[in-house]
A and B are shown apart, each in its own frame.
Chain A
Amino acid sequence: MVKAIPKVSIARNGLGSYIQPCYKITLQYCNWGGSSQGLRDLLTNGKLNQFALNNLQTIFEIKQQRGHPLLICNYNNNTQHEVEIKNLSDSEIIKKLDEYIQRSGNERFKYNHKVMSDNDSVRGIWSPLFEPKDHRHKI
């Protein structure tokens, strides 16, 4: 009698468990260029090791390639963010890392909406029947 309509459940990250969306960061540096000086400092002075130990849930990959240095952040919604870090000092790069490791991977957008939810409204949709009978518009 009753037929079932196939549906897929909706993920609610943070409810029950939280999985950090940023799973991999590639640090790309140049061994020769001056713009990579900050990143080279970061790699040699052990600050990155400390940072990686505090963020065990993310893989840090180090890649040598000529050109300006880059941070390539991979998120679990199949997106990649490339961050330019040329001429930044090591502490500034740590700040960038800290910022991008916490992101969701979605594009940033201006939040203008009053409510954003997967759930239905608790009060329900307004209906003209809520208006008392005497106040209704009469034709």
Chain B
Amino acid sequence: MFKKINNVSTTRSKSYALKFSPIIIRQLHSSILLQQATTQKKSPKSFDTPKPNIKYDSITDYQSYKSNNIYSHRLPESTAQQSPPLIALHSRLNLPKNYSLSTLSQALNLIEEEEGEGLVNNYSLNKLGTTLLNYFINEFYMINYPRLPSEIHNMACKSLIGVESLSSIGKSWGIEIDEITKLDRFLGQENEFMKYGRLRFNNNKENKVKIDGLTEVVDSRGRFKQEDFAYAYAVRSIIGGLYTHCGEESVKQFINDHILSRKVKLDSMFEFKKPSVELINLCNKLNFKEPVTIKLIAETGRLSHQPQFLAGVFVGNEKIGEGIGSSLKEAQTRSCVNSLLSYYLYSPINENGDQVNLPSDDKRTSYKFESLIDGGDV
């Protein structure tokens, strides 16, 4: 009946792979490479990454990688320095001086090499940034909240580094989208360097009719626009670029400052179907010998229109948690939820009462696991 239409996001990520089509070759380093590039057959339909027969000097020598890349070129630093948005973004993010402006410009470029001017796009920086973000955010939650169930853990990471969060970070950094068409740029006599500091992606605005009240969404649930993905790509790429210029320490600091400083309400992420059953299962798993009992600790105004009950969950003589509700049932449920939350949201401290060290904190000394080992999910 209906043809299933592929997500634009997936097709775009496919088309990110290098295609062979007429290309502008600049910064050529050796003529042998040119021959190899031109003798390849043109196959515009295949999305596979081509494997040019290039020999690297050594796998660990990154400089030799750079010189082999003949399909595209990087923006010269002198050009990037003339772009006001780039300089402003650099100083707004308080980036270190050795973070070059041309890398920053590359991080904002999503257009494929053969479609645009042949400038490198942020595909590789984005990959690098994604990996770094995943590592540091996962590490933070693994160590600081060791008892989080895996679903909540994933959701907590997503709330920090998901597309929604990253795109709002990108917008708050004051990155503008390059929406000006070539004709307008010519007529408005805009400085040609301005666009290198804007977010550039293929939004195909020129071929589309804009209707008020209608927005184009990209993902299947209809939450994100194409620009949201572009912003997320840019933010990840800027983080990846920071790693290439300044190393791991400054990336960690940057992620701490800009992303981990955001507030995540972990306690409002839990959804328990049957809190009392889950609590009993948990206590069984923890091998508590005495049974779980819920007792009424205090009450007020039972006959009034606004009664309050305080229920507590006890294992033997030990109180695990308590909850207040306006009916007995509500107080019971709340006390169960509170005691479950107090188990799951446990955050360890070390002997001195400070926050626990992360494995990435100090590389010189071998990492010693200080926190309590968790019992796993219920």
Contacts and interface: CB of A to CB of B under 8 A. Distances in A.
Given A8-B162, A76-B173, A129-B324, A2 B88 contact: no
Contacts of A113: none
B377 interface: yes
Interface string A53-73: 000111110000000000000
Nearest to B278: A1
Contacts of B261: 12, 15-17
A4 B172 contact: no
Contacts of A76: 171-174
Interface in B162-204: 162, 164-165, 168-169, 171-174, 176
B50 interface: no
A6 to B, nearest CB: 6
Contacts of B171: 76, 78
Contacts of B3: none
B92 A7 contact: no
Contacts of B165: 8-9
A139 B169 CA distance: 55
Main secondary structure of the interface of A (DSSP, over half): loop
Contacts of A13: 172
B300 A7 contact: no
Contacts of A78: 171
For chain A, the bracket of interface size reads 35 or more
A20 B272 CA distance: 41
A127 B323 CA distance: 12
A110 interface: no
Interface of B: 84-85, 87-88, 91-94, 149, 151-152, 154-155, 158-160, 162, 164-165, 168-169, 171-174, 176, 256-258, 260-265, 268-273, 278, 281, 298-301, 303-304, 308, 310, 324, 344, 377-378
Given A3-B273, A4-B270, A13-B172, 13 more contacts: A2-B377, A4-B149, A5-B155, A5-B270, A8-B159, A8-B168, A9-B160, A9-B165, A10-B264, A19-B93, A78-B171, A119-B263, A139-B303
26 contacts: A1-B281, A1-B377, A1-B378, A2-B278, A2-B377, A5-B271, A6-B269, A7-B155, A8-B164, A9-B263, A9-B264, A10-B262, A10-B265, A16-B257, A16-B261, A19-B93, A19-B172, A19-B174, A20-B92, A23-B92, A57-B91, A76-B173, A118-B263, A129-B298, A131-B300, A136-B300
